[in-house]
Chains A and B, each alone.
Chain A
Amino acid sequence: MGHHLATFIRWLLVPVALAGIAVLLYWLFRWIGWKKKQAMGLALVSPWIVGFLVFTLYPLGNSLYLSFTKSSIFGKTEWVGLDNYIRLFTLDIEFWPSVRITLLYALFSLPIGVIGALLVAMLLNNQIKGIGTFRTIYFLPAVLPEVAVALLWRWMFNSESGILTWLLSPILHLFGMDKPNWFGDPRFILPAFIIMSVWGIFGTNTVVFLAGLQGVPRSLYEAAEIDGANGFRKFLHITVPQISPVILLQIVMGMIGALQIFTIAMFVRPSTAAGKFMNQLVYERGFNQMHMGEASAIAWVLFLIILALTLLVFRSSPAWVYYETDMKR
């Protein structure tokens, strides 16, 4: 019991300390002559700022530092400058296959995810009886834990009793192909993961699109109908431009999510012959091979890839994203 009490007291002390810091800051801000409102606001968000500094900014900075060092977790950390990056780009046999499979995965799974989610959301946007039930059902996948989903997929991919093999083998048979060894044969690993990404269509993505669709004013459709527009034209000229900010959000979030694929890959444990996903490589370099420096460098390359692609999407957005306050050019 004794040590439980000690732990409990320490748990209590953390909020007390945070509150103390908030009060101190408030008082300091007032001291230097800030307005009451201003001081109060900043003092109240200060616990979050402390958390951000300690748990996000410091680890972030530290990993950047580590990526320029030779570090084996234990003991010495040695500054090596750009060595880790140079080795990755020139010598590392796992790095480029890893970049390749990660980018390919994102390239294929992203459009499937965005277009699929939009189509499902349009279905769910219909005013039919029991639509509430359908919406609930289509949201269910988001509630399931990712590991349970991975198990489910493994069963679906089972080449003897799996439902996917049953569906696909007549098609594969036409091309004279055998039942695929989905997670063993390097040729089938990327397709298997792209198929699994279909799961991402349902759930949160669909709901976000649905919210976007419901925000489109009915009057626009009515006006278009009077002008004789058919369903497809309405979709192309009203729906898409109206929800383009949502599409932008989905593309950015989906891309980040796809490039960071980790849980399912670690759980399914496919053959490594096709390469490991980048996050997998980070984990295995860091915690299996204990090269924290190299692992950090890979993580930063992944970050830069994500940053570059996100910027690219944002730069392109003025051409196809319309905000209500914008004037059409």
Chain B
Amino acid sequence: MVKILHAKEVSFIWDILNEIPDPEIPVISLVELGVVRGVEWVDTQLQITITPTYSGCPAMRMMEMDIEQSLRKEGITDFKIAMQYHPAWTTDWMSEATKSKLKTYGIAPPQAHTKQRIGVLISDAPTEVACPQCNSVNTKLISEFGSTACKSLMKCNDCLEAFDYFKCI
């Protein structure tokens, strides 16, 4: 009986977390981003496990605070947020639905790892990224570093719009 009650509560918590938007890309939630790795009971305390996207992402603190506030708003006060490093966060965790939300928002979604070589040579930089405005793959990389740690700055050679590309890591 106790276990069933807990299982219900856990799915309720997931629902709350799935409503929390990413502080920098508000069209996707922390769950869709892949930051929330687990919700479980450790003895009598609820534990939310999260993983960092980028080591130095300034939004991580914000995400923790948002989780804390959302849970407190629902009357949940006894919980712990734990940080987990393994397995390391990857953009491969994003679903196709999440990627299409990014695209609609104007951010080119990350390519799958299998489609992109990840290496240290210049030729390993992203190629064939489709422009989120006109879908042309005739695009070029302006800078591997963009408005946030997770994005590169690209430009479409056809519609001439500059756009953000969610880096594949």
Q: Say whether A and B bind each other.
A: no
